Structure formats: structure tokens, C-alpha cells
Amino acid sequence: MTSDLFSVRGLWRALTPADRIVSLALLLGSIALGVAARPSGEPTAAVVTVGGEVVATLPLDRDSRVEVQGRLSPVTIEVSGHAVRVTESACPHRICVRMGPRRHSGEIIACVPNALVVRLTGGAPDAGVPDAVTG
Amino acid sequence: MTTRTIARVALLVAVATTLAIAESLIPKPLPWLRLGLANAVALLALVRLGARAALAVTAVRVLLAGLLLGTLGGPTFALAVAGGAAALVAMVLAARAVPPLSWLGVSVIGSAAHVLGQLAAIGALFGAGRSVLTLAPWLLATAVPLGVVTGAIVVAVDRRLEAW
């Protein structure tokens, strides 16, 4: 560990075999997790929760806009062309707004300061219920 | 803890809190991206002073940063606690791993545990359930290289602190 730590090559040399295996396993494992968590099929609704409580369910087959009260500020959520996005929020970093539109099943937009999550679900009637139990 | 250790822990708390606040103010290319310098200070505490010092640095830093940023008690604070605790536990365990990891490897594990802890908190507290896992590839894919970088910073700082 006396190598140069300020170049990519130096950093690579500083990694022990165990370091490299762990890093690779984390990268591959994360991709596998992400793929496994994504339900198949087209999403039919965007479910909006604040602190785990469902506050709105927006069907994706028609354009709409709704304002909900988050923990910190009102948040505006818009459905347009089968995609959902957060268009306005007064949270500090506005990560939710900058995440842009989401259109695939299982994808989420999270606004942490507002404890708000927008989740795309596939059309079952109880799609708004958080799926805490997942075999 | 000796008085000397307490003074050093206090110094690291001050550095970690300052870096946590500085990092929250810097604009980032990707909104959710963060280098994790505050966690790097927890790793430095682990490297030089041991697990108890790292716990003290993390706990007091999370509390002070929450107080100063105005997030104390809110959802953002809950995520800071989840991420900080997950990273700390993971790094303490990783430091004892066989075959041995370097501090870079320990840092990678801490960085990954930080994002996983935060995802778990979003899933459990905000009703996102397992959907949070769809964010995992992006977060972990960046957490691993960033963990190497913060680990390298810790090792470089550690070398220059020989006389400490």
C-alpha cells in the first residue's frame, strides 16, 4: 500500500484480490437485484405515497396533474404520455424533479425531504398497497 | 477512552460535520451523487482509533449535521441515520474480514452499505417496498468507484498523520 493513489493504475494496484472480488460482486449483485425487482408488463398507474400512506393514484392512460402535500412542501406530479414526473417541489435539492419522467413498471421517484414516493405499478386493483411481503 | 482519544474524536467530529455540510451545498452532476467525505472521516477514525471512535464520530456527526441543516427528526435525517449506521457496521465487520481487505476494500463496502441502508429506509419508511431495488444498480454502480476514491483519500491522509 505504498503505491501512488492519485492515478487509476495506482488505485487498481492498491486493491487486494479480496477488494477486487468484493467490488465486482457488489456491481454484479446490484444489477441482478435491480433486474429481479422490476416487474414485467406495462405499468397502468402511478401510486403516490407520503410516509407510506397512499395519497393519490394516477392512471397512466390519460394525462393529469395533481398537487399533494409532502412533509416539507406541496409537490406537483404530472402524468403525460404514459410517463410520470415530479414537476414542482420546494425541497432543497429537487432531486425528485431532476430525476425526470419514469415510464417502466416498478420504477420509482423518491423525494426524501417530503417522505414522498411515486411508484409505477401494473394495474391490479390493489396496486396501491405497498408490497411488503415479496417471496 | 483517554483524554487524548476524546480530543481526537472531537476533532474528527468537527471535520466530518464540516464536510457533510459542505457536500450538501455543492451542486452535483447527478442529483443523487455524493462522494461521501463525511463517511470517509468515520473510516479514518476506524483506521486510527478503532470501532468505538468510529461509532462516536458517526453518531455525533449525523446529529450535528441534522441540527445545522435543519433536517433533524425528519425523513432526510432518518435516511442519514440509516446510511451512516449501515456503513459503520459494514466497515467494522469488513475490517475484520478474512482474507483481508485493504482500507480501500473496506471503504467500498462502507459506501455500498450506505446506499443500501438508505434504500432499505426508503422502502420501509416511505412505502416504496421492494421497488427501491430498481434504483440499486445506479446507486451501487457509482458507490463502488466512489468508495475506492474516498478510501484512497483516507489512506493518503493516514500516511500523512504518522506523527499523530
Task: Kindly report, residue by residue over B53-82, the tens digit of the pLDDT.
Answer: 999 999 999 999 999 999 999 999 999 999
Judge whether A111 and A86 are in contact, CB under 8 Å: yes
Tens digit of each residue's pLDDT, chain A (135 residues): 456 788 889 999 999 999 999 999 999 998 898 888 777 778 999 999 999 999 999 999 999 999 999 999 999 999 999 999 999 999 988 999 998 999 988 889 999 999 999 999 874 444 444 444 443
What's the confidence (pLDDT) of residue A122?
79
pTM: 0.89
Chain B CB contacts of A100 below 8 Å: none
Chain A CB contacts of B131 below 8 Å: 37, 106-108, 117, 119, 131
**Contact yes or no for A33 and B137 at CB 8 A:** yes
3-state DSSP assignment of residue B137: helix
**Contact yes or no for A16 and B101 at CB 8 A:** yes
**Contact yes or no for A108 and B130 at CB 8 A:** no
Rg (alpha carbons) of chain A, rounded to whole number = 20
> What value does the mean pLDDT take over residues B117-141?
89
Distance of residue B123 Cα from the nearest chain A Cα, in angstroms: 9
What's the confidence (pLDDT) of residue A14?
92
**Among the partner residues B76, B99, B128, nearest to A119 by beta-carbon distance:** B128
> What value does the mean pLDDT take over residues B33-60?
94
Return the residue of A nearest to B26 by Cα: A93
Torsion of CA A122, B130, A48, A116, to 10 degrees: -160
Asked whether the predicted pLDDT for residue B42 surpasses 60, the reply is yes
Q: What is the largest CA-CA distance in chain B?
A: 50
Work out the mean pLDDT of chain B and round it to a whole number: 92
What's the confidence (pLDDT) of residue B164?
63
Asked whether the predicted pLDDT for residue B50 surpasses 80, the reply is yes
**Contact yes or no for B126 and A93 at CB 8 A:** no
Strands, E assignment, chain B: none
Displacement of CA B105 from its chain's centroid (Å)? 14
Q: In angstroms, rounded to a whole number, what is the distance separating the alpha carbons of residues A17 and A81?
A: 48
- What would the pLDDT profile of A82-95 be if each residue is shown by its tens digit? 999 999 999 988 99
Classify burial at B108, counting beta carbons within 10 Å of its beta carbon; exposed 0-12, middle 13-18, buried 19 or more: buried
What's the confidence (pLDDT) of residue A2?
56
What's the confidence (pLDDT) of residue A127?
42
**Among the partner residues A26, A71, A119, nearest to B75 by beta-carbon distance:** A71
What's the confidence (pLDDT) of residue A119?
93
Chain B CB contacts of A132 below 8 Å: 129
Distance of residue A62 Cα from the nearest chain B Cα, in angstroms: 23
Give the residue among B118, B111, B113 at the shortest CA–CA distance from B135: B118
Q: Which of A117-121, B26-30, B105-109 has the highest mean pLDDT?
A: B105-109
**Among the partner residues B134, B139, B148, nearest to A108 by beta-carbon distance:** B134
Distance of residue A89 Cα from the nearest chain B Cα, in angstroms: 14
Return the residue of A nearest to B157 by Cα: A5
Q: Identify residues of B whose CB sits under 8 angstroms from chain A CBs.
A: 24, 31-32, 71, 74-76, 79, 97, 99-105, 108-109, 112, 122, 125-141, 143-144, 147-149, 152, 155-156
Question: Considering the domain B3-160 in this protein, what is its CATH number?
Answer: 1.10.1760.20
Displacement of CA B36 from its chain's centroid (Å)? 6
Distance of residue B2 Cα from the nearest chain A Cα, in angstroms: 30
